[in-house]
Every structure is written in C-alpha cells, then in structure tokens.
Amino acid sequence: MGIFLKILHFLMITTVFIVQLSFGEYLKLYSINFDLLMISVVSITIIDGYLYGIAYGFLFGMLLDIMGGNIVGINAFIYAFNAFIASRFLELDIKGRLPMLALIIFSITQINLLLESLLLFLFNFDINIVELGREMLLKPVYSILVTILVFPLFNLGQKERWEFGFQNKEEN
C-alpha cells in the first residue's frame, strides 16, 4: 500500500503542476494568487517524509524554471527549501491538527515570498515593495484556503487523520 500511495502522490503533484502552469497566471489577473505546487510539496513532505518532499520540490521547481522562469534554479531551490522548512516543523511533533497545518502553510508562504524577492533583488531584478506587501497579506490567506481543500486529497489512504482544533490533554 505504501508504494501505491507514493505513486499516487507523484501523479497528483504532476497534475497540480499542469494545473498551475495552465491556470495560475489567469487567476493572478483577478488578484487571486496562491502557489498550488508549494502546497503540494509541503503536503507530500508532511505525509511521505522530507526526502520525497525535497526531491519533488527540486524536480518540479526545476521544470517550472525551465518552462518559464526568469533564472533557472530559483524555483527548484525555493521548493526544496520549503520542503526542508516543513520537515523542521514536523520535528516539533505538531502532526494531526489542521490549525498547525495552517500555521505551517502561513509560515512557509511568507518565507517563500521573502526568499524569492531577496533572490530576485540579488540578481538585479526590480522588485515592487507595494506589490510584495499586498502579496504578503493576501497570498497566505488564499494558500490556507486551498490547503484545506487540497490536503485531504493527499491524505487519502493514510491511517492518521487530521482534525480541527487542538488536543485536549485532560481525560475525564
């Protein structure tokens, strides 16, 4: 069952990659901006482990750069780094709760935006501070909403279930 789920996750992230390439730019016209590939890489990191998350993040980030990135390798580095950050959050033993998943997605989205802007600035690209501020306010909200919709698809077939709310340590 484990290898079947890993193959299924690969097919799902491939589908997400195609959807993001097809519709991502059209949604930006309406100020709806989220990174579906980042959400998928973080979900795979949480479910399958950091090695799969880093490998998928690097592979699909490099494909995204080759197909239309400004600088080849930036998205590969950023998505692999996102998987690494998600694996560090998992060491805190916060699996199983959707508010913690929302915190992980919020944190990684902010790190993703700042890191991408810093790297583009270092490579002498112009960055718009006002646009960056607007994205830092809206992109995490959209990413968390999409995570609530997408994460259960990646979690199919898992024994561990994610719940709303926090754990109550008191037992009656």
* Coil/strand/helix, residue 97: strand
From its phi and psi, is residue 49 left (phi > 0), alpha (psi between -120 and 50) or beta?
Answer: left
pLDDT category at 116 given cuts 50, 70, 90 is confident
pLDDT of residue 55: 95
For 5, 84, 161, the CA distances from 1, given in Å and listed in that order, are: 6, 25, 17
**Residue 111 dihedral angles phi and psi, to the nearest 5°:** -60, -40
pLDDT tens for 15-64 read: 989 988 888 777 777 766 778 888 889 888 888 888 999 999 999 999 98
pLDDT category at 158 given cuts 50, 70, 90 is low
**Model's pTM, two decimal places?**
0.77
pLDDT tens for 60-114 read: 999 988 988 778 888 899 999 999 998 888 777 665 666 777 778 888 888 888 8
Average pLDDT over residues 155-168: 58
pLDDT exceeds cutoff 90 at 124: no
Cβ(60)–Cβ(37) below 8 Å: yes
pLDDT of residue 109: 82
Pairwise pLDDT comparison (140 vs 50), residue with the higher score: 50
- Any residues with CB less than 8 A from the CB of 148 and at least 6 apart, and which? 98, 102
Cα dihedral 156, 159, 162, 166, rounded to 10, equals: 180
Pairwise pLDDT comparison (1 vs 147), residue with the higher score: 147
Question: Residue 124 burial by CB count (10 A; 0-12/13-18/19+): exposed, middle or buried?
Answer: exposed
Pairwise pLDDT comparison (2 vs 80), residue with the higher score: 80
Residue 154 in tokens: 């990646």
Cβ(150)–Cβ(19) below 8 Å: no
Pairwise pLDDT comparison (44 vs 171), residue with the higher score: 44
Handedness of CA 64, 40, 31, 23 (dihedral sign): positive
Cβ(164)–Cβ(118) below 8 Å: no
> What is the rounded end-to-end Cα distance, in angstroms, of the chain?
37
